[in-house]
Structure 1
Amino acid sequence: MAKKAHLLGFIQHGVNSHATGMWRHPKDKVGWNYARPEYWQHMARTMERGLFDAMFIADELAPYNTHANSSDPIVKYAVQFPTHEPSTIAPIITSATTHLGVGVTLSTAFEHPYSMCRRLSSLDHLSNGRIAWNIVSSYSKSEWEAYGAEMTDRGHRYERLDEYMELCYKLWNSWELDAIIADKESGVYADPSKVHEVVHEGTFFRSRGRHFVAPSPQGQPVLWQAGSSDRGRDFAAKHAEAIFAVLPTVARMRQYSDDLNTRVSERFNRPHGSVRLIYGVQTVVAETREEAQAKYERILACIPPEGALAWMSGHFGLDFSTFDLDDLIQDIEVPGIQGLFESILYARDGAPVTIRDAAIIYAQGMGMPVLVGTPADIADRLEEFMDDGGADGFMLIATYTPGCFEEFVDLVVPELQRRGRYRTEYPGTMLRENLLND
């Protein structure tokens, strides 16, 4: 049987997401306020109407300040600014829907595993089992400076992350299934011998205490990761139930898919198919190719060049204001997010890319493939990414909202369903059920 796609909406809790300058677009948030519940409820209902697995909420903890050693251009051009805290809208989204999950990006850098587990278990209860955690460790200097902390050595990042997860698993698994008695006559609510105290003395963390939240519907949130480096891929293959990657070509998708699947099954002895590979795409769809191309050109026209450079500087940890814009990106090494940098290196299938061009490519949607055309055109490419690239599904990056998701649901989803490449109903009620089932 042909593989069926999984779909997620990629968004940020702010005025602008990952397509720089979209707040300027004449169709962006018309009649909506991104800071109000009604906007998120409508977005959620739109995605659920399209049978999406989840709304995936990215995050950044502080405005980037790498470009010219200032966050001024980030503020000036609304480059992921302002951005509100992601987990606060999870209950708003799940209370407006019955199946749609919510993936929240939460950093391990400045929060202890004990409070992280408590927050995520609480959200999983409130959503009736529809929460995912995108596990990140903060990478930009602006985040560390905002928290008044010294940036940790990259060499120890994954050792710390592994221990972080070890303590999380101990807490989530510390309640036995029959721990709650709730006997009103005797007054005994829970058996203390079955709510185990976790004692952890590690290299990076110490903790002694009981998990303060009863087991949630999923037991623990769905675990999401975006590993790109060699160490990152190992971490993702070891812990994640779904992996998000930005890969600009089918060939890069296939290389990544083969590598991750091998790591999952051979290095970590996990069952084949137990980890979903979700690849980022940006779509611009219309009834005709001419209309779609015109829409795409309008999106490009909204990108501010300086804002694009500032965003690229922030993600890659390198001040691109000090370079000649005609320098080739292939001649530069960056300390920041390696996987996303590769999306620029291979954006033109290996052909040279200048810094000027790289900034605009990145500002469109972090180097993801941009699919412009009719519903059939878009469906053709998505099928190619699944069949030849090994994708299990797609993270649909926002352009103007909520219109980009409404258009995809109204135009592309029916085309995928007609081809038998997309579900016609949800297989379950909890996120893990929907994500791990075809």
Structure 2
Amino acid sequence: MTRKKAHLLGFVQHGVMNHASTMWAHPQDKIGYSFARPEYWRDLGRIMERGLFDAMFIADELAPYTTYQGSSDAVVRYAAQFPVHDPAAVVPIVGAFTKHLGIGITLSTSFIRPYQMVRQLSTLDHLTGGRVGWNIVTSYSKSEFQAMGLENLTPRDKRYEVVEEYMQLCYQLWDSWDDDAISYDRSTGVFADPSKVREVDFQGRYFRSRGRSFVMPSPQRRPVLWQAGSSEQGRDFAARHAESVFGVFPTVTTMRAYADDIRARADRAGRDPSQLKLIFGLQTVVDRSRDRAVEKYEEFRSLIRIESALAIMSGHTGVDFSTLDLDDDVADVDAQGIRGLFDAILQKNDGKPVTVREAAELYGMAMGAPTAVGTPADVADEMEHYLDEGGCDGFMLLATNVPGCFVDIAELVVPELQRRGRYRQRYPGTTLRESLQEY
């Protein structure tokens, strides 16, 4: 029986904080680095490539959260996903200092027009030799719309109707150049055949565009498409469009339920379910000594500031948790933002009540994702369990102290997975799509 091999991706943000609340205050976080400088991204990319990761995956938020207490004061005070710089700017830097590592970026369809989105992503795919992925998101945060000078969010029940049309226009633009359109004939001065560079004339309900795509077909032609659909509409969208789906699930049972559901939807959409890679969130705290790994985990937990975690959780869900007591049950909260992350918190205790304080502690550590703590063998055991019983294809690794947590994966966990036949020995090609579809 062939045992499934794991895909690994590093989950980071172009900011002070990644995804573990107040982890930037750890004495070993970013020592000698500034997240805003190229050297940090150069070395982070090299570490992940040494570990043969599929990609660095860069999350994003477009404005400070203002849901908690009706203000962004708490996020500023604790660097709770603040400040956050443009993720796209990092791509050429990482691409220039690596040869195989993919770079996935989060870009919102709410604020970038389809024509410009295609141009930007294809440009980045050219600059990296075919290693760009796009995490397709529709903005959910009121603070983002206010910062952009817009009053109204896209209604929740319309989000996927709008983005569906958005994607159809993107596909037409990406596919509008024939493979043999460019002749580049110096003797005649002819660069391309106009009949093979078609003008797109798209007249939809939400988007209109008329013109030729302004960028040559990139090495992958389309970026690798990521999505994190958790609602019914989101799951259907992911099943139709995504090449890789990212999810956060706290237990092997919830992992398997999602995996079976999304693959069944892909099959109904006429796709080969095996081509849709399911990458689930996982945090690791690893050391050669199990006792030392547990000590490190407790050090990380001690850094969590409840108010910081609540500010992020409020921003993600659209619920002001300052209006609740820390001992209140969160089960009946109507989360309108990133519903999947909030559901992960509710599922963490297998149906038992979760208080606001407990939710903040869980969210502050790993956004509800499981945390594997122990020796390289312990962590590999847990990964194998999720691969085999949870139905996933790999892991989005949530950062603790950076870059040390990724050094630990590359130097300790990857060799253990390779020894078990659970991980690649070399990259299969030069593009992100080749890495993702290798197994």
Question: What are the Cα deviations for residues 36-63 of structure 1, in whole angstroms up to 9, with x where unaligned?
Answer: 1111010000000000000000000001
| Structure 1 unaligned regions, length at least 5 | none
Please name the residue that 1:232 is paired with.
Answer: 234
1:38-437 equivalence runs, <5 A: 38-149=39-150, 150-266=152-268, 268-437=269-438
Question: What SS is found at the alignment partner of 2:361?
Answer: helix
Question: Match of 1:200, SS?
Answer: strand
Shift of 1:86: 0.2
- Distance in 2, matches of 1:262 and 1:393, equals 19
The residue identity in structure 2 corresponding to 1:374 is T
- The whole-number CA distance in structure 1 between the counterparts of 2:200 and 2:382 is 49
Cα distance between partner residues in 1 of 2:270 and 2:219: 26
After superposition, the C-alpha distances for 1:358-387 in whole angstroms (9 at most, x for unaligned) are 011001121000111111110001000000
TM, length-normalised to structure 1? 0.99
Q: How far, CA to CA, are the matches of 2:298 and 2:381 in structure 1?
A: 22
Q: Deviations over 1:79-106 (max 9, x none)?
A: 0111000000000001100000000000
Tell me the alpha carbon deviations over residues 318-338 of structure 1, each in whole angstroms, 9 at most, x when there is no partner.
000001111111132222211
* Paired AA for residue 27 in structure 2: P
Could you tell me how far apart the structure 1 residues matched to 2:158 and 2:353 are? 34
Q: Which amino acid aligns with 1:248?
A: P
| 1:93-149 deviations in Å (ceiling 9; x for gaps) | 011000000000000001100000000000000000000000000011110110111
Distance 1:64 1:191 in 2: 49
> How far 1:190 sits from its partner (Å)?
0.5
Rounded to whole Å, the distance in 1 between the matches of 2:3 and 2:326 is: 45
Matched residue type, 1:140:
S
Superposition CA RMSD, Å = 0.7
Residues matched between the structures, number: 437
| Cα distance, 1:151 vs structure 2 | 1.1
Residue type at the aligned position of 2:431:
M
The residue number in structure 1 matching 2:7 is 6
User: Could you list the runs of 4 or more consecutive aligned residues of structure 1 that deviate by over 6 angstroms after TM superposition?
Assistant: none
State the SS of the aligned residue for 2:274. Answer: coil
Would the aligned equivalents of 2:118 and 2:170 in 1 still touch at CA under 8 Å?
A: yes
What residue ranges of structure 2 are gaps of 5+ in the alignment?
none
Which TM-score applies when normalising by structure 2?
0.99
Q: Is the 8 A contact 2:282 2:372 kept in 1?
A: yes
- Relative to structure 2, which stretch is displaced further, 141-150 or 331-340? 331-340
Name the CA distance, whole Å, in 1 between partners of 2:120 and 2:336.
31
Q: Secondary structure, in 3 states, of the residue corresponding to 2:279?
A: strand
Letter in 1 for 2:392: A
CA contact (8 A) 2:75 2:81 kept: yes
Give the Cα–Cα distance (whole angstroms) in 1 for the partners of residues 13 and 87 of structure 2: 7
